[in-house]
């Protein structure tokens, strides 16, 4: 009975042969980050929260070197358009003084985040999405407006 429960041991050479025949690559490949996106529930919550701030102006820009930046920016464009905000959309972030990673609000050097941007930041935090705030003296947003920049993943 003891003999029946023993598993045969494969010699190391046999295991190497199996991997070689299957062309199994033992090298660890770096994992590609999961593309960022807003799901339907997240979009609905953002729409509900941001409707409290009508007639806002936002500039949406992205880093073209980030593989998911355009589609992620498009998610935010959808939300902003549904609530009726004026959006300068789809521009690469090459004009920004610094290229942030992740999401960033950009305001002029002396400016504070407008209440609408604070509400957006707080709603995103519920989903553990952080937004950095950058102050750029060369930034020319209108009073009460802001730039949302989509950079590469951190």
Please report the domains of the chain, with CATH numbers, ordered by start residue: 40-150 (3.30.70)
pLDDT in tens, the chain (154 residues): 555 555 556 566 666 665 566 555 555 556 677 899 999 999 999 999 999 999 999 999 999 889 999 999 999 999 999 999 999 866 766 666 667 789 999 887 777 899 999 999 999 999 999 999 988 877 777 777 899 999 998 7
The runs of H, that is alpha helices, within the chain are 2-5, 12-21, 40-50, 69-82, 115-126
150 DSSP β-pair partners: 62, 103
Q: How far apart are CA 95 and CA 7, in angstroms?
A: 65
Q: How far apart are CA 149 and CA 154, in angstroms?
A: 13
Alpha-carbon torsion (88, 51, 115, 62), positive or negative: negative
131 DSSP β-pair partners: 103
C-beta separation of 146 from 58 below 8 A = yes
pLDDT of residue 47: 98
pTM, entire model: 0.76
């Amino acid at each position: 009975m003891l003999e029946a429960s023993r598993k045969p041991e494969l010699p190391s050479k046999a295991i190497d042969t199996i991997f070689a025949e299957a062309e199994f690559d033992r090298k660890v490949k770096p994992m590609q980050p999961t593309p960022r996106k807003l799901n339907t529930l997240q979009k609905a919550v953002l729409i509900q929260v941001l409707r409290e701030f009508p007639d806002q102006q936002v500039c949406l820009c992205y880093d073209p070197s980030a593989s998911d930046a355009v589609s992620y920016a498009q998610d935010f464009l959808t939300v902003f358009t549904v609530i009726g905000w004026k959006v300068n959309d789809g521009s690469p972030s090459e004009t920004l003084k610094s290229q942030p990673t992740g999401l960033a609000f950009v305001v002029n050097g002396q400016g504070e985040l407008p209440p609408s941007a604070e509400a957006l930041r707080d709603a995103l935090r519920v989903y553990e999405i952080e937004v950095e705030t950058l102050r750029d003296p060369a930034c020319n947003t209108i009073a009460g407006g802001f730039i949302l920049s989509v950079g590469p993943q951190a």
